[in-house]
Structure 1
Amino acid sequence: MTASQEYDIGVAGQPWGPAENAQWLARQQIQRSYQQQVLSRLEQVAPGFTRQQYGELDYRQYGAESYPLYAFSNGLAVDKVTVLVTGGVHGYETSGVQGAIRFLQTEAANYSDHFNLILLPCISPWGYETINRWNPQALDPNRNFTADSPVAESAAVVNFLLQLSLPVLAHIDLHETTDSDNSEFRPAKAARDGEVNTNWDIPDGFYLVGDSEKPAADFQQAINLAVSKVTQIAPADADGCLIGEPISQPGVVNYPKKSLGLCGGITDAPYVTTTEVYPDSPHASPEQCIVAQVTAIVAALEFLKSKGY
């Protein structure tokens, strides 16, 4: 880790108040369209999948839109196990959103007879449009997947999943790690919280974040093996770490997901992973990142089938 320059909002060492939050929000601009790049593409998904609106984010007070939130599923049959796929928890992580859409368009039908599949392709549409990690209140959805969440994006997902009548066997949460994590989002977080920022080395490649309470090492290994044929698996840094955490096996670190309020801890699924790709790498293209996300989902499903599920 290395120290970084101070962020230019707020006073060093003092957490933000309403004025600083407003100053940050005033900088955020719509840069792309949820309607055109997400919803229009979701009009063509695998046969047998239905769309359900599970919430709406009314952000007109922030100069944006009112965003409908959609889940896609092939039904919940009692004789099939259930797999959850989430994308766009952080809206700026493009391949997570587009990977979920691509899976729905190309691979989902191949597994529809075997699994109950539930996909939430874009949990944070305002973040998608502004290419942002936070929501308009400068809150990170991925630390707020809790029963009493103050973050509307997270609360909508929590409430939706509470309605499920069947347990979830596996959850694949699609993410990216970008250069902007170090140039913008980590410095902004430290300033917001009145802390000193330190930056990680951005891992150059694909890696996974398992759950330290249920690491499922063979599950993670199977996914990385499949993805390694699409793009490189991120090597550990000089300290044997990825994003500041010691690796548990090549290309894998573990976090206590439920206690941190992470999306990956939202269910009691025994098989949980968070994918991370590096779209700014000289060794990968945006298309490779999308394909890597689809490959990870497919590898997870193939692993579950190999275990007799």
Structure 2
Amino acid sequence: MSTAPAFYPIGTSGIPWGEVERAEWLSRQSRQRSYESEVLSVIERLRSRFDVEQYGHLGCGAESYPLMAIRSCDWRDDLPVVIITGGVHGYETSGVHGALQFADRHAEDYAGRVNLLVAPCVSPWAYERIHRWNANAVDPNRSFRQDGAAEESLALMRLVEPVRDRALMHMDLHETTDTDESEFRPALAARDGKPFEPCEIPDGFYLVDDSDNPHTEFQQAVIEAVEKVTHIAPADANGEVLGSPIVARGVIQYPLKQLGLCAGITSAPYRTTTEVYPDSTRATPEQCNAAQVAAVCAGIDYALANPA
């Protein structure tokens, strides 16, 4: 668990960034891994078993990224829809690879019972830079609204719109990392001209339920399954995680739609955001991926057993 300095090397304290500062920030971002070799190649191998579609295109300067989704090949209009999203924050690696592993290893277990729609890497530019924001220094996971400023988010909303009111479950796969505190929250404060206020990074897995439509038993079913794979984040001394009260073991709540979060883009009764902690000394990358897969499977199993 990390503590970060208040200083950020771009901009002037107390003054929101303009175009000059955003350009300076962008100039500091470098490509560190390959969306094509690590994500698109995996999706391509799944093409013989699923319907694979390009639902959009992201252009960033000279770079071009197809936005890809995986669907059940036996899609039936009489079946409930389950949506799995990963990589909304591109640096949250297990969200991407957990979604891909679920599709590869478990999705066919649900054939004939649900229609699956998986968007494993919503923000490919950020995936390659291991960053939270997109190329415009915008957080896609605060942009899932009609007037949102992130094309990644708008493209996903267009993909989901036809099944928005038919979805039974939507699980959005995320991570909380030490770099949230050492880089991304200080950058956010600098970008917005606000003071940086340190937080304690929780050590372990937790979930974010919808405060406007909570389903505690669903969230707890997911927690119980994930606990077999990795540890659950305890509350801090104030009974909170990242400033939000613990409402059940390993569960906090946000108003998903109000905040423009990905998990709020459908009318699904069962909605949640997973948060894995990959920087823990008690977790490996393989465990983090497995925790995401366990969460997805447990969520679908609960939703099918308890149709709302």
CA distance in 2, matches of 1:46, 1:66: 21
CA distance in 2, matches of 1:301, 1:107: 11
Alignment of 1:107-186 (within 5 A): 107-164=106-163, 167-186=166-185
Aligned to 2:35: 34
Pair 1:274 & 2:264 matched:
no
CA distance in 2, matches of 1:134, 1:3: 19
CA-CA distance at 1:82 after TM superposition: 0.6
CA distance in 1, matches of 2:221, 2:163: 28
TM-score w.r.t. the length of structure 1 is: 0.96
2:4/2:181 contact within 8 Å kept: no
The secondary structure found in structure 2 opposite 1:163 is helix
Aligned to 2:18: 17
CA distance in 2, matches of 1:249, 1:34: 36
Q: Which moved more, 1:95-104 or 1:4-13?
A: 4-13
Pair 1:71 & 2:39 matched:
no
Aligned to 2:231: 232
CA-CA distance at 1:164 after TM superposition: 3.2
CA distance in 2, matches of 1:241, 1:46: 43
CA distance in 2, matches of 1:251, 1:158: 28
2:70/2:119 contact within 8 Å kept: yes
Q: Which moved more, 1:287-296 or 1:39-48?
A: 39-48
1:44/1:105 contact within 8 Å kept: no
Aligned letter for 1:41?
V
Pair 1:106 & 2:105 matched:
yes
Aligned letter for 2:256?
K
Q: CA 1:77 to 1:214, structure 2 compared with 1: closer, same or farther past 3 Å? A: same
> What per-residue deviation string (whole Å, max 9, x for no partner) do you get for residues 11-69 of structure 1?
1000000000011000000000000000111122386421111000011x2x5x20000
CA-CA distance at 1:79 after TM superposition: 1.9
The secondary structure found in structure 2 opposite 1:202 is coil
Aligned letter for 1:194?
G
1:96/1:175 contact within 8 Å kept: yes
Aligned letter for 1:167?
R
CA distance in 1, matches of 2:15, 2:228: 46
Aligned letter for 2:145?
T
Q: CA RMSD in A?
A: 1.6
CA-CA distance at 1:78 after TM superposition: 2.2
> What per-residue deviation string (whole Å, max 9, x for no partner) do you get for residues 209-254 of structure 1?
0000111000000000000000000001111111111110110000
CA distance in 1, matches of 2:23, 2:52: 35
Aligned to 1:49: 50
Q: Give the number of equivalent residue pairs.
A: 306
Aligned letter for 2:57?
E
Q: CA 1:231 to 1:165, structure 2 compared with 1: closer, same or farther past 3 Å? A: closer
Aligned letter for 1:34?
Y
> What per-residue deviation string (whole Å, max 9, x for no partner) do you get for residues 101-139 of structure 1?
000110000012210110000000000000000001000
CA distance in 1, matches of 2:205, 2:159: 30
TM-score w.r.t. the length of structure 2 is: 0.96
2:164/2:268 contact within 8 Å kept: no
4+ runs deviating over 4 angstroms: none
Give the unaligned 5+ runs of structure 2.
Answer: none
CA distance in 2, matches of 1:46, 1:136: 29
The secondary structure found in structure 2 opposite 1:137 is coil
Percent identity of paired positions between Structure 1 and Structure 2 = 53
CA distance in 2, matches of 1:211, 1:288: 26
2:165/2:268 contact within 8 Å kept: no
CA distance in 2, matches of 1:230, 1:148: 39
CA distance in 2, matches of 1:308, 1:88: 27
Aligned to 1:207: 206
Q: CA 1:79 to 1:245, structure 2 compared with 1: closer, same or farther past 3 Å? A: same
The secondary structure found in structure 2 opposite 1:98 is helix
CA distance in 1, matches of 2:263, 2:165: 17
